[in-house]
């Protein structure tokens, strides 16, 4: 039977990491997948994580299954980080998921199983995996405008027009809470307010992907857009992740948090979410969630985490600055100043697919086909070579 199976194309992001591994060039640079690198080009285990793991090794009572919805104390910390005390806990249903991707998938399954015919509206562009996840769950996607004509900032008028005129009542709209992937372009506070008002008026369900809390302007600051939308909309689905802000990529630790208008609806929704999880991966893994719960349950480790997160955020901001200056120094006819208004790991470089190919084949520099670069992969060491390569293909 299997002789009829055809080969699928490589993944737009993770496929590049595979190609990077196979590249023999000792000076190769990987700015494709969204993984943070320190000044030495390593993806470190945070010190607070190591300390928490030590405690877990010493004290873990059992490896028995978690509940379908995950570790209770972890779920409480997820809600705390997302909302503080702005939303009554009875209105929330939190499910621990395998990474933020798992959260998006359970959200997609929930929409698909509960709201037949509802479409999900995603920004153009968005994370390459978003449409695939919704389509795998049988949920149709449509797009709304996001970037302006020169692809350096937000086309807010286009976005507002599309969200006002496109979706039918009951459709869902996927928003990136901060550090928009792939562009790094986020709405202003005023624009978030207008988005919330449109969603409320048009009776649209916000699905908020929050994979980069703490990588924009700070843990609280990055949640401001989410809080604004929830001042307008009584219901939402929030997909969050500790891959980036705890550096727990391979532990696959994330969550889906459903915000309901009333406690009863939250309870009923939780039962449906658990049903979907049980039929998918049964129940989530313990270790990553135990790390997060250990750190956030201890004042000293939490403060250490805040410091380590701030260091990552500041290093990315410094690399943005240095990249812009260095590109200017190469004398190319393009100003990269716009990168300084963008948030998080990613920016759109404006490089076209031919230039992206040439970067890879001639210079062993790997960036995503759309022209997305991972600023968090730049180091003082690789910057000169990177900028020379970009100047050469420009
Ligand atoms: C990315 O966009 O590079 C990350 O979110 C990793 C992934 O799974 O694609």
Domains of the chain with CATH codes: 11-44+309-393 (3.90.1150.10), 65-296 (3.40.640.10)
For residue 66, the 8-state DSSP code is P
Residue 11 Cα: closest atom of ligand 1 = 9
ipTM of this complex? 0.95
CB of 184 sitting under 6 A from ligand 1 = no
- Give the H or E element holding residue 326: helix 299-329
Q: Phi, psi at residue 212, to the nearest 5°?
A: -125, 30
Task: Please give the pLDDT value at position 31.
Answer: 96
- The reply to whether the predicted model has a pTM over 0.90 is yes
CB of 33 sitting under 6 A from ligand 1 = yes
Q: Write down the residue that tokens 């496929």 correspond to.
A: 15
Ligand 1 mutation pick, 10, 11, 13, 37, max ligand atoms within 8 A of CB: 13
Residues 294-323: tens digit of each pLDDT: 999 999 999 999 999 999 999 999 999 999
Q: State the Cα–Cα distance between residues 48 and 281, nearest whole angstrom.
A: 29
Query: By the 8 A CB rule, do 357 and 19 touch?
Result: no
Q: Where in the sequence numbering do the catalytic residues fall?
A: 127, 209, 244
Q: How far is the CA of 346 from the centre of ligand 1 (A)?
A: 10
Residues in the chain with pLDDT < 50? none
Query: By the 8 A CB rule, do 163 and 123 touch?
Result: no
- The answer to whether the bond into 309 is cis (omega within 30° of 0) is no
Nearest CA to ligand 1 atom 4: 34
Task: Please give the pLDDT value at position 150.
Answer: 87
Task: Please give the pLDDT value at position 382.
Answer: 96
Task: Please give the pLDDT value at position 37.
Answer: 96
| Mean pLDDT (the chain, rounded) | 97
């Amino acid at each position: 039977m299997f002789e009829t199976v055809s080969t699928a194309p490589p993944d737009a992001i993770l496929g590049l990491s595979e190609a990077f591994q196979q590249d023999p060039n000792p000076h190769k640079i990987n700015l494709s997948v969204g993984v943070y690198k320190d000044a030495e080009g390593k993806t470190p285990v945070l010190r607070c994580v190591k300390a928490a793991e030590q405690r877990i090794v010493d004290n873990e009572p059992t490896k028995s299954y978690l509940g379908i919805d995950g570790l209770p104390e972890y779920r409480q910390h997820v809600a705390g980080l997302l909302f503080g005390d702005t939303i009554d806990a009875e209105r929330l249903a939190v499910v621990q998921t395998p990474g933020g991707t798992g959260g998006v998938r359970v959200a997609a399954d929930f929409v698909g199983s509960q709201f037949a015919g509802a479409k999900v509206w995603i920004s153009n562009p968005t994370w390459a995996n978003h449409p695939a996840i919704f389509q795998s769950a049988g949920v149709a996607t449509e797009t709304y405008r996001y970037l302006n004509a020169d692809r350096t900032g937000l086309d807010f008028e286009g976005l507002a027009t599309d969200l006002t005129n496109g979706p039918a009542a009951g459709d869902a709209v996927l928003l990136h809470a901060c550090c928009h992937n792939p562009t790094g372009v986020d709405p202003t506070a005023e624009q978030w307010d207008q988005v919330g008002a449109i969603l409320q008026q048009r009776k649209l369900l916000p699905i908020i992907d929050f994979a980069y809390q703490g990588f924009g302007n700070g843990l609280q600051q990055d949640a401001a857009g989410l809080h604004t939308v929830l001042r307008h909309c009584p219901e939402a689905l929030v997909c969050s992740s500790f891959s980036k802000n705890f550096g727990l990529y391979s532990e696959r630790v994330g969550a889906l948090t459903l915000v309901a208008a009333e406690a009863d609806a939250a309870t009923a929704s939780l039962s449906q979410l658990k049903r979907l999880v049980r039929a998918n991966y049964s129940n989530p893994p313990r270790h990553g969630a135990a790390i997060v719960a250990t750190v956030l349950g201890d004042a000293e480790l939490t403060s250490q985490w805040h410091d380590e997160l701030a260091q990552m955020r500041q290093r990315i901001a410094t690399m943005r600055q240095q990249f812009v200056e260095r590109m200017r120094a190469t004398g190319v006819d393009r100003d990269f100043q716009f990168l300084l208004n963008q948030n998080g790991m990613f920016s759109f470089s404006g490089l076209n697919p031919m230039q992206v190919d040439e970067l890879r084949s001639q210079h062993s520099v790997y960036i995503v086909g759309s022209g997305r670069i991972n600023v968090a992969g730049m180091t003082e060491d690789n910057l000169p070579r990177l900028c020379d390569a970009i100047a050469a293909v420009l």
